[in-house]
């Protein structure tokens, strides 16, 4: 892994996310999640962070206003902050061992795939996450960490 293989989100897209106004309708929440979701691989526990926002999309009325609260605002701000921290992902070296780290909560699971470089530094090359269904939320901790 060398620095020549570092990937970062484009500044123009990050600026669009930073400038996105606080959503007031399901359509706007969906638009924000779609924009931010393109960079989900750069954000640890993306699905866990966005859970309060995806919960707003429940129900059949697509264009209705949302019940925006402090939890939603915190998730919205945290997601913007994570994307503006200049996240970097390194390309994997298939000749070296992979490190898999998994962390589950009651809301979802996050996984980090990384490797150690020649300088003995650990570098991530992918973040994965998943929000649990109502059924999966009842699993034991071990079952949640092994889910999907």
Q: What is the pLDDT of residue 69?
A: 95
110 pLDDT more than 80: yes
Chosen CATH of 98-146 out of 3.30.420.40, 3.30.70.100, 3.10.20.370, 1.10.357.10? 3.10.20.370
Runs of H (alpha helix) within 9-140:
11-18, 26-37, 46-49, 51-55, 70-83
Q: What is the pLDDT of residue 98?
A: 93
Which residue, among 23, 20, 30, 130, has the nearest Cα to 69 in the 3D structure?
A: 23
Domain range list for the chain: 12-88, 98-146
Query: Helix (H, G, I), strand (E, B), or coil: what is residue 61?
Result: coil
Phi and psi at residue 93, to the nearest 5°: -110, 110
Q: What is the pLDDT of residue 4?
A: 44
Kindly provide the b/e burial profile for residues 74-99, where b requires at least 16 CB atoms within 10 angstroms of the residue's own CB.
Answer: ebbeebbebbeeebebbebbeeeeee
Q: Which fold has domain 12-88?
A: Alpha-Beta Plaits (3.30.70)
Q: What is the pLDDT of residue 3?
A: 46
47-101 pLDDT per residue, tens: 999 999 999 998 777 678 889 999 999 999 999 998 888 778 888 989 889 999 8
């Amino acid at each position: 892994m060398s620095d020549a293989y570092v990937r970062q989100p484009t500044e123009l897209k990050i600026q669009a996310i930073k400038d996105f106004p606080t959503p007031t309708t399901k359509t706007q929440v969906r638009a924000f999640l779609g924009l931010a979701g393109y960079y989900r691989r750069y954000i640890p526990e993306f699905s866990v962070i966005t859970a309060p926002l995806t919960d707003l999309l429940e129900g059949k009325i697509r264009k209705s206003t949302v019940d925006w609260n402090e939890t939603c605002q915190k998730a919205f701000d945290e997601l913007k902050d994570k994307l503006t921290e200049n996240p970097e992902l390194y390309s994997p070296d298939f000749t070296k061992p992979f490190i898999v780290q998994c962390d589950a909560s009651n809301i979802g699971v996050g996984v980090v795939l990384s490797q150690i470089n020649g300088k003995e530094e650990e570098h991530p090359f992918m973040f994965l996450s998943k929000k649990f269904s109502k059924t999966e939320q009842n699993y034991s901790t071990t079952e949640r960490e092994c889910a999907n």
